[in-house]
Structure 1
Amino acid sequence: MLVVVNAKLRKGSNMYDGAYKALRDVRVEHARFLAWYPYPKLSVAELQPPDGKRTYWDFSLIDPLVFDFLNASKGHVTHIDFSTIPQWMFKTTKPVPYPADPDEIAFNYTGGSEFRDSTLKEVTDYFVRVFSWYTQGGFTDELGKYHKSGHYLKIPYWEILNEPELEHHIKPQLYTRLYDSIVTALRKLSPETKFVGMSSVDYKNPTFFEYFLNPKNHKPGVPIDMISYHFYAGGSVKQPFEHFQYSYYDRVDHFVTSVKYIESIRKRLNPNVKVTLNELGTFLTDEMRKKPIPASYWNLASAVYAYMFIELNKLGIDVISSSQLVGYPGQYPDVSMMNWENAKPNARYWTLKLINDNFGPGDKLIEPELEWNELDYAYQAFITPKGKKLLIVNKRNTNTVIKLPVDFKRAKVSTVDDISGENAAITSTLAQDNVLDMKPNAVSVLTINK
């Protein structure tokens, strides 16, 4: 699950209590905290450069977000990603402004692809100080002043930047240099921390993967523990929403083909590197985001994620993560797992929870004997520590009837659909005739009674 810092996650927001309750209740491993650039005051700890007289370090707005996330994820593996580099560290024609209001969205807080310090020491030192603030109790700033935090966190995973080829048009060679520089410095402070590289959005281009995964392009001894990349299925501005049910699945299938190719690169160059697909979701068009989102969209989006879970499990992907906990108008509302008006989780959240509650690492994939219609639904059976389970996704915006094998007689059925709405999956027992009647865009998990 992706948790992006934004105004709705701050204390006092109408979503504050509901969002963190949802994060606690979902109990996912590898939840990812992303301090992202559209909220400079919530993501950047040094918004102005030292001026020779003083420095401008300030964690007062950032700390509450970090610790609210960690407290809600307590007992689970987490990833931390301070992805936003202070804009003053880049060469730009003029200083890049940021809003005084920390809640104001600032997608213009970007620009520049060349660091003013080409040695990368300045940007590396910035991340060392941020990391030290949270793991070493504090740090000494550029002018020799000590800043005490009192924080001594153990951070399981630390990710290096976010979508660097998009946010600053950083080339693979420069990113790899930066990764090596930062990881070398942070490992000295926390040898047990693992590091996540790439965070790529350009999964169709193998150049970045070929370069970064090749150990020859890294300094000796620099680990690549895990790589990450992202995917959002979208529809066309020329399509009516009713056709998105076809476009989304078609885009997912193309993405899965790309994943297979990336996996071949990884296995050839660096087979011990783990993979997290830590941003997966669906997009509406910009025009549709400006209007009320159709209620059926949330079930469609949840079904598409469940389909991704099935297909990516077949490839052995380590982490299959849905994006994102909280979005709202102006901040990618279509990827939100929460209703920003009433602070209740939507179908995307409940499907993630349904999957997380029933499946996990070590499950064995098996093939049940179903009368399969590939156009209407997708499925995958698993042998889990709690028994045999079947995940079924209705890929269409119409009811689908499925005849199940005899061994699923009287199986427990848990379903997220338009009837469950903004509530947990509805639990029932499979009908006597072993027929499962699925509502449009429904996701069901069947468990065989032991």
Structure 2
Amino acid sequence: MAEDHSLLAPPEHAPAIPVVIDWEDTSRVVETVLTTHLWAAPPLERGAPAHDRAFAALRDLKVDYARFLPWFSNPLVSVPALSAPTATTTSWDFSRLDPYVEDFMDAAEGRPVVANFATIPHWMFVGGETIEVGDDKDEIHWDYEQGTRFRDETLEEVAEYFYRIASWYIAGGFVDEHGVRHESGHAYRFAQWEVLCEPDLNRRMAPETYTRLYDAVVARLRTLDPDMTFVGLSLSHVHHDPEYFWYFLDPAHHAPGAPLDAFSLHFYASPDIVNPFGPEGNPPADQWETAFFAQADGFLEQLRYVRSIADRLSPSTRMLLNEVGTYPSDVMNPHPSIPDEYWVLSAAVQSYLWARSLDLGADLFGVAEFNGYPGMIPGTSLVDWETGEPNARYRALKLLVDHVRLGDTIAPTSTGYPGFPDARVHAQAFASPDGARRVVLVNKRGVPTDVEISDWTGESLLRAVEQGSGSAVPIARTVQGGRLTLPPHATAVLSRG
């Protein structure tokens, strides 16, 4: 006899998810900066079709602490000294890197920014000097980071390299290895300098080595700007080895006076990656939702542990989640075919993690990345790599930037019935100093979901990034009372006052 599974299906007219808000609790306020970061990548080169629209979108976002990251995959741009100095010459050349820095700083419009000139030249490693990068500035070099042992084990060579880059942009120029002065004319200010990006990934730099390198770089750069603070670790999402936190965050492992201003880590959710170069063999799109949100919840539990380590060893050190995103399985596909619904789902994941991070002591949440492109993790992008037009991930980020601000009160919010929280929707309410009240709602399911907000009366406005909005601005709807339907995977803000 076949089993009857009818009781497992929801009733035809399922009740709305209750959302209960305690507006009287004013004990917590928003302290997490919401931002993004930008790669120095070919689609954003001056003259490229996406350049103007993309940088205009970055400017319109108006975020503090946007992060600039020239990464190793494009060394012809990111490494201004591509060859080791000889007895008579050096290879310093900033002509490819400068336009990206200038356009990024222009888009920041004076707001604080973070510099992460992350790539160490290959010739500074034993075994790395044999790498050939060619002349194609658009070629992706995944094999650039070769070698694990520094040719100068004192690390002075690496520290001087970063000091010269920083001097080029902060102090108007530098003196090279042969005593020759190079003038830039730049006088930029970086609020933070992050030392390397994902040192645990390709070279698997040991915590002890990284800590020693961090101290060496910081000691040199501190003389350039006494107001500039420093960010350490920048760990990839692949490892999250607790030993990095236990070692780096212990002041006893650092040189005397070395600042522990902040540390950073990254997270990307993805389905199983069976084939990173194409869709064949990978999980279908209807399975991504489950994978993304399950991994997001796992990451949140990791953060509790990481925060506890920091609180024990160095409680004043800020925790920055400066790369958070998702990508489909075919992460390196040179001809990606990403379904339209992916972008709204990814937006829902980043919005959910941001809302949850407010309770975990995160000082910064960076939605990554402003510009992915084919062959280079396209599913992380906030803009179209061909046109620069913002997509749903950008629109969801801007929706939250525009409607939730530092200093807003975080009102305790629950979904579901007492003792039985409903995980289908995440809700978080905020009260602004001007009296406005807002509820951020994230539908974690790919179906329309009803919610009913208690004690929410009168007329209000719902702005939602959803499948129908595409890359356009959020869809706005007038709502009467507290009952409403959230579209599939919507990121929404309900506003009153």
> What's the TM-score once normalised by structure 2's chain length?
0.87
Gaps of 5+ in 2: 1-35, 275-281
Could you tell me how far 1:266 is from its partner in structure 2?
0.4
Q: Are 1:339 and 2:384 an aligned pair? A: yes
CA contact (8 A) 2:114 2:192 kept: yes
> Aligned with 2:390: secondary structure?
coil
Q: Are 1:277 and 2:325 an aligned pair? A: no
Could you tell me how far 1:132 is from its partner in structure 2?
0.6
Choose between structure 1 and 2: higher helix proportion: 1
Change (3 A) 1:408 1:213: farther
- Paired position in structure 2 for 1:222: 258
- Paired position in structure 1 for 2:174: 139
Could you tell me how far 1:28 is from its partner in structure 2?
1.0
- Structure 1 segments, 4+ long, off by >6 Å, are none
Could you tell me how far 1:191 is from its partner in structure 2?
1.2
The separation in 2 between residues aligned to 1:425 and 1:327, in whole angstroms, is: 22
- 1:363-407 deviation digits (Å, cap 9, x = unpaired): 222134654662321111122234221110000111111112232
- 1:197-249 deviation digits (Å, cap 9, x = unpaired): 10011563210000000000001111011111000011124532101111111
Change (3 A) 1:418 1:185: same
Greater displacement, 333-342 / 21-30: 333-342
CA contact (8 A) 1:413 1:444 kept: yes
Q: 2:163 aligns with which of 128, 147, 152?
A: 128
Could you tell me how far 1:343 is from its partner in structure 2?
2.4
- Paired position in structure 1 for 2:489: 441
Q: 1:65 aligns with which of 82, 86, 100?
A: 100
Greater displacement, 349-358 / 334-343: 334-343
> Aligned with 2:240: secondary structure?
coil
The separation in 2 between residues aligned to 1:333 and 1:411, in whole angstroms, is: 36
Change (3 A) 1:265 1:71: same
Q: Are 1:313 and 2:358 an aligned pair? A: yes
Report the AA paired with residue 207 of structure 1.
E
Q: 1:401 aligns with which of 450, 463, 475?
A: 450
CA contact (8 A) 2:261 2:317 kept: yes
Gaps of 5+ in 1: none
Change (3 A) 1:109 1:217: same
Structure 2 counterparts to residues 109-258 of structure 1, below 5 A: 109-201=144-236, 204-236=240-272, 237=274, 239-258=283-302
The separation in 2 between residues aligned to 1:267 and 1:91, in whole angstroms, is: 38
- Paired position in structure 2 for 1:50: 85
Q: Are 1:286 and 2:302 an aligned pair? A: no
The separation in 2 between residues aligned to 1:75 and 1:189, in whole angstroms, is: 19
Q: 2:51 aligns with which of 16, 22, 32?
A: 16
CA contact (8 A) 2:66 2:113 kept: yes
- Paired position in structure 2 for 1:359: 404
Q: 2:311 aligns with which of 255, 267, 270?
A: 267
Report the AA paired with residue 155 of structure 1.
F
Change (3 A) 1:433 1:356: closer
The separation in 1 between residues aligned to 2:72 and 2:331, in whole angstroms, is: 23
Q: 1:390 aligns with which of 435, 439, 444?
A: 439
The separation in 1 between residues aligned to 2:128 and 2:163, in whole angstroms, is: 27
CA contact (8 A) 2:200 2:239 kept: no
CA contact (8 A) 2:457 2:481 kept: no
CA contact (8 A) 2:416 2:422 kept: no
Q: Are 1:3 and 2:59 an aligned pair? A: no
Could you tell me how far 1:408 is from its partner in structure 2?
4.6
CA contact (8 A) 1:367 1:380 kept: yes
The separation in 2 between residues aligned to 1:147 and 1:61, in whole angstroms, is: 16
The separation in 2 between residues aligned to 1:287 and 1:368, in whole angstroms, is: 36
- 1:291-335 deviation digits (Å, cap 9, x = unpaired): 410000000000000000111111121101100111111111000
Structure 2 counterparts to residues 70-89 of structure 1, below 5 A: 70-89=105-124
> Aligned with 1:429: secondary structure?
strand
Q: 1:324 aligns with which of 369, 386, 394?
A: 369
The separation in 1 between residues aligned to 2:457 and 2:384, in whole angstroms, is: 35
The separation in 2 between residues aligned to 1:97 and 1:437, in whole angstroms, is: 56
The separation in 1 between residues aligned to 2:361 and 2:405, in whole angstroms, is: 12
> Aligned with 1:390: secondary structure?
strand
Change (3 A) 1:186 1:288: closer
Report the AA paired with residue 249 of structure 2.
L
The separation in 1 between residues aligned to 2:481 and 2:410, in whole angstroms, is: 26
The separation in 1 between residues aligned to 2:332 and 2:175, in whole angstroms, is: 48
> Aligned with 2:210: secondary structure?
helix
> Aligned with 1:314: secondary structure?
coil
The separation in 1 between residues aligned to 2:40 and 2:409, in whole angstroms, is: 36
Could you tell me how far 1:360 is from its partner in structure 2?
2.4
Report the AA paired with residue 324 of structure 2.
L
Aligned-residue RMSD, C-alpha: 1.5
> Aligned with 2:468: secondary structure?
coil
Could you tell me how far 1:101 is from its partner in structure 2?
1.6
Could you tell me how far 1:165 is from its partner in structure 2?
1.0
Could you tell me how far 1:153 is from its partner in structure 2?
1.6
Could you tell me how far 1:102 is from its partner in structure 2?
1.4
Structure having greater relative contact order (Cα 8 Å, sep ≥ 6): 2
The separation in 2 between residues aligned to 1:317 and 1:369, in whole angstroms, is: 21
Change (3 A) 1:216 1:343: same
- Paired position in structure 2 for 1:413: 462
Could you tell me how far 1:341 is from its partner in structure 2?
3.1
Could you tell me how far 1:111 is from its partner in structure 2?
0.8
Q: Which of 1 and 2 has greater Rg?
A: 2
> What's the TM-score once normalised by structure 1's chain length?
0.96
Report the AA paired with residue 407 of structure 2.
G
> Aligned with 1:82: secondary structure?
coil
The separation in 1 between residues aligned to 2:462 and 2:424, in whole angstroms, is: 19
Report the AA paired with residue 438 of structure 1.
L
CA contact (8 A) 1:414 1:425 kept: yes
